A and B are shown apart, each in its own frame.
Chain A
């Protein structure tokens, strides 16, 4: 890629990048080892009122692997993530075009049961947001909502989820205490436990470690590594090292467009795009 092209890309990213993405998709069969596709986005455009935030995003997210979304602030990572479980429905004036298929089903089809979608696609937020309820009630919230009242089932789900979230040993003697009595890192793991208690297929994480110290971060990263055996994980992060450490694939976004998407080692060591290279080497962002 020569200098002139890069300049064009910077001044008018739209035209160039769209073609790049296409070319990547075409090449994905070879660039990315064949895995089952879990989420298939096609030509996703999203605008909040007059403000278009996502432009023609198309990507396939593989099953049981970690996909990291990176990019500068405001480029639409959270927005994209929230599209995947229709969380953007909660915001007025959101308009979305294109299709997002989970399995064989377009979750934006008119007859989709949004509740079912959200149950199958869990979410962990940037700021930990446990309910002001006991630890136990926090974890089993999704099950209770689904109408499960059997104590044994709930107990079992609670223990299993807390173990998966690597929190069980720390809280097993204080399940009836408030979820808010935990430390920040524990709260975030509690939220992860809550998300996986309903046994979703996919877990979306929006900067899950941004409010945590390095040790808590490390714990969550290990947790993500374990979780991917059972779950498809999509994670938004500003921490490039983290993306490099935990993810199998990385997607780089810029101004609402998917610039580059590929296997994490390649994106970080041999980025195809000048923009990507500039971003991961810290020349802008």
Chain B
């Protein structure tokens, strides 16, 4: 006899506690709920880590000066404090050390220093200590000692230099803008003219090879004249630039530092100065906001470890938009064929499965394909046919924003196809019949009734595609992203949109700054802030699409009848 038989028989309707529990379904709720909870926790944790590390980066902390037992002094910004690990000894984790951002890389050779607290004999926060953001070598931390203008002494000591400094730095900012304008706009334009003249000459050479009997001397003379004129202009612009720089570079400040003597800096090279220990809370907040703002709108400096990420933001947004512009129409048209025109059979089903599975192909494979097909084959052919004079320098036969967008478009088009197909399938048959009954052709029905009604679903596809495309890095690395791009792919230079140019991208920027930078410690917070930016941009792009979609949904909502 087994145990089951001895169980008391229950009346109909009576249940044990376990059965009640199972019937009510509580365990399933816990089970499914905890799965969701864990994933939310992981995602939330990731975002929290990124936010905490990234957002603190711009906060101007106080500057400390510590004196050590050996009489040496160190100044810097407090980064963190941690117990010293000495495994196996009783000292393990007993004592603490602090990390100072000491700056002055040009004088010291490093930016950060760990100091054992047991070594410290005195610690204070001098009010004259300032934090300087400058063109090269990272931050400078020191005390202003001397201000000279055109070689003549203007002021000594913090309290006399400080009031002067503000306006000088203001002027330095506009001087830099002027220099930049001359360099980029004027000299840049002249350089492009010279380059065009060179290409024309090269074209003539090529033509001369083909038609040896023709006489090209008139054209050649013309080109020579053009070049002569451009070079003259170039010399003049260069002279003007030097003059501007000379005038701007007149003022300089000498800072006294605790770590290797004095340092003289031209005000032209100073981007921002603040006396960290004199700031009120709101003063700090202002600096924080200003730093955050320049991070977003400035160009990067010092191989991306300083300055802003504007070109990367621009490149990311433009790449995503180009990609959407390519992938969405293509995907929608493909979905239209699959859903509306193709005879529904096993072949179409096969295609559908294949399209769904394309999403599983590693993105680097798309990248390699893009490099081989778009860059080398198509780009190479374009170069041979249209830009022969520029060879061997490739124009389209090298990575660029167009090829990168096309590659990512290829990567995301399955997402669009699947979403668009579902959206098309969801358009009720009755709506199509109504259109046909009015005497519409198939194309008119699709164009005027089916597509508008499917638009919200198609936008869902766009949203998914953008989210996927904006986060991809691997295929971009071989199809057009670079660490530093000299020019944006969209600028005031004719024809304004330069789809062949290389570009910067936030995702690649994260990889580059975080793992390729010579100064990892300094770059770490940049990784987080760049990540936040990338997240925000994806969010913004998606929000826009979602708002549009919801508006359309309201418009096309099917009524209760």
Contacts and interface: CB of A to CB of B under 8 A. Distances in A.
Contacts of B181: none
B283 to A, nearest CB: 55
Interface stretch (A26-34, A119-127, A162-170): A119-127
Contacts of A115: 439-441
A129 B439 contact: no
Nearest to B439: A119
Interface residues of A, number: 34
A183 interface: yes
A240 interface: no
Contacts of B557: 132, 180
B459 to A, nearest CB: 15
A87 B433 contact: yes
B343 to A, nearest CB: 8
Interface stretch (A49-57, A58-66, A191-199, A228-236): A191-199
Interface stretch (B83-91, B444-452, B536-544): B444-452
A243 B550 CA distance: 44
Size range of the chain B interface in the assembly: 20 to 34
Nearest to B557: A180
B216 to A, nearest CB: 56
Contact of A87 (B431, B436, B449): B436
Given A129-B430, A211-B561, A123 B437 contact: yes
A118 B436 contact: yes
B438 A128 contact: no
A90 interface: yes
Contacts of A191: 434
A53 to B, nearest CB: 18
Given A132-B452, A187-B559, A142 B430 contact: no
Nearest to A188: B561
B516 to A, nearest CB: 52
A129 B444 contact: no
B561 A187 contact: yes
B437 A122 contact: yes
Contacts of B437: 85, 87, 118, 122-123, 125, 195
Contact of B561 (A85, A128, A144): A128
B436 A180 contact: no
B452 A118 contact: no
Interface in B513-561: 555-561
A145 B433 contact: no
Interface string A109-140: 00000011011001101011111110000000
B233 to A, nearest CB: 55
A178 interface: yes
Contact of B438 (A141, A181, A187): A141
B559 A180 contact: yes
A183 B439 contact: no
A56 B313 CA distance: 71
B321 to A, nearest CB: 28
A129 B434 CA distance: 7
Contacts of B435: 131, 141, 145
B561 A184 contact: yes
B335 interface: no
Contacts of A118: 436-439
A198 B433 CA distance: 16
Contacts of B558: 132, 180
B440 A145 contact: yes
Interface string B413-432: 00000000000000010111
A35 interface: no
Contacts of A184: 560-561
A146 interface: yes
Given A129-B428, A131-B449, A146-B439, A90 B433 contact: yes
Nearest to A178: B555
Contact of B555 (A132, A142, A145, A195): A132
Contacts of A130: 434
Contact of A145 (B444, B452, B556): B444
Contacts of B187: none
A192 to B, nearest CB: 12
A195 B555 CA distance: 23
A82 to B, nearest CB: 9
B453 interface: yes
Most buried by A among B435, B438, B441, B444: B438
A180 B453 CA distance: 13
A119 B558 CA distance: 26
Nearest to B344: A92
A186 to B, nearest CB: 9
Contacts of A183: 561
B439 A142 contact: yes
Contacts of B561: 127-128, 183-184, 187, 211
Contacts of A85: 437
Contact of B448 (A90, A145, A181, A198): A145
Contact of B433 (A129, A133, A142, A178): A129
Interface of B: 428, 430-441, 444, 448-449, 452-453, 555-561
10 contacts: A87-B433, A125-B433, A129-B434, A131-B434, A132-B555, A142-B439, A145-B448, A146-B439, A178-B555, A198-B439
* 5 smallest beta-carbon distances between A and B, as pairs: A119-B439, A142-B438, A180-B559, A123-B437, A184-B561
Given A115-B441, A128-B561, A198-B439, 18 more contacts: A85-B437, A90-B432, A116-B439, A118-B439, A122-B438, A125-B434, A127-B561, A129-B428, A131-B449, A132-B558, A141-B438, A141-B448, A144-B448, A145-B435, A180-B558, A181-B559, A187-B561, A191-B434
